[in-house]
Amino acid sequence: MNQPRTARSLDDLVAAGVLAPEAAAGLARVADRYAIAVTPYLLERIRDGGEPFARQYLPDPGETDAAPEERPDPIGDGAHMPVKGIVHRYPDRVLLKLHHACPVYCRFCFRREMVGPGGDALSKDELAAALDYVRAREEVWEVILTGGDPLALSARRLAEVVGVLDAIGHVGVIRLHSRVPLADPGRIDADLVSALRASDTAVWVAVHCNHPAELTAEAAAALARLADAGIPLLGQTVLLRGVNDDPAVLEALFRGLVRNRVKPYYLHHPDLAPGTARFRLDLEEGQALMRAIRGRLSGVCQPTYVLDIPGGHGKAPIGPVWLHGGSAQGDGIEVEDWRGRRHAYPPEATRVAIDRKDGLE
């Protein structure tokens, strides 16, 4: 019996029943430019659920229409790459991009010009040079494995990299960013979990999840295998028009993550990757969504809404403002509560008491 296989072409998507033949006919230019991969597990989910879940994974004609503000390297990785595979943007942490392959290629990916079957993987010598870079810089406290999806590597190779990093005394945290627990949850098996164990370094996994429909029983079991092994889990979400740009969807998503022991970490404003304009909201729309969920969700469910500044300048928090007015001396400050009501700070009665104590009356 033939095992289901990953769809890697328009014909594969048609054969899997997730793309109409007439739709595929207009997507040849997209397929020529950007990689396609949808795992058998996700194909089944798409057949069951359709939009908006499928919007993340299925090609769209608009992908070849780049807006003037879009750029191949939207967050400026290339400006901070001292050696191949290393991005050193912040003083205390680096990205280590081991390869450029993923089990699924998301249609909004900010590295869509770099990832794919033909993308570079570090050779043995290049990996050694990247690890030497980390070893030589004691300010590097955290190494973030990204790429390409690090959990797409074999357990053996992953264990080797984790082992080398674990032996570098000044590295305190190894963080892996992955879509695998949601795109191919069966891959999170005992061997892979074992490969993530370190003796002297904290290992964290950041899981990329954008819609509550991704938190299936299979995905929950994969996350549990990681959490039960003592690996702390973070959630990363991209705010996507037509996928999760609704307070009720975000509420269900963030509660679902926390229920699965995943702390929502970042809500990313979508980057200016070529051909992704259909996914982007205005900043004001994103802030309004964050404002809408503020009083509806526990603080443990609240991510930080961030924008990666184009050009390589790093992330900036861009959530709504809750503090209004005020002078240089701090007078006239108002704090807005989750209902939209404003309150003086400090309260008037407290201010009068302080003035009396200081002999100002």
Tokens 């900010």 found at: 110
Position 353 scores a pLDDT of 52
Catalytic residue check, 11:
no
Would you list the DSSP string of 174-223?
EEEEESHHHHSGGG--HHHHHHT--SSSEEEEEEE---GGG--HHHHHHH
Position 157 scores a pLDDT of 95
**Residue 230: Cβ within 10 Å count:** 11
- Mean pLDDT over 93-105 rounds to 94
pLDDT digits (tens, 9 = 90+) for 299-358: 999 999 999 999 899 999 999 999 998 776 667 899 999 889 999 988 876 555 555 555
Which one of the listed residues 106, 107, 209, 265 is annotated catalytic?
106
pLDDT reading at 1 higher than 60: no
Position 114 scores a pLDDT of 81
- Mean pLDDT over 207-229 rounds to 97
- Mean pLDDT over 68-75 rounds to 90
pLDDT digits (tens, 9 = 90+) for 124-165: 999 999 999 999 999 999 999 998 899 999 999 999 999 999
Q: 208 and 60, same structural domain?
A: no
Instruction: Tell which residue, 253, 208, 219, 207, has the closest CA to residue 42.
Output: 219
Catalytic residue check, 315:
yes
In terms of C-beta density within 10 A (0-12 exposed, 13-18 middle, 19 or more buried), how is residue 164 classed?
middle
Catalytic residue check, 84:
no
137 in any annotated domain: yes
72 in any annotated domain: no
Question: Under DSSP, is residue 84 helix (H, G, I), strand (E, B) or coil?
Answer: coil
Q: 333 and 199, same structural domain?
A: no
Catalytic residue check, 209:
no
pTM above 0.85, yes or no: yes
Alpha-carbon gap, residue 356 to 358, rounded angstroms: 5
268 Cβ neighbours under 8 A, 6+ residues apart: 236, 237, 238, 239, 306, 307, 308
Q: 150 and 49, same structural domain?
A: no
Indicate the residue among 64, 86, 106 that finishes a domain.
64
Which one of the listed residues 8, 33, 84, 90 is annotated catalytic?
90
2 in any annotated domain: no
Which one of the listed residues 57, 102, 184, 265 is annotated catalytic?
102
Q: What domain range is 128 assigned to?
A: 77-317
**Residue 216: Cβ within 10 Å count:** 17
Q: 14 and 126, same structural domain?
A: no
* Interior angle at CA 26, CA 25 and CA 31, nearest 5: 90
Q: 161 and 87, same structural domain?
A: yes
Q: Check residue 137 and give left, alpha or beta (phi > 0: left; psi -120 to 50: alpha).
A: beta
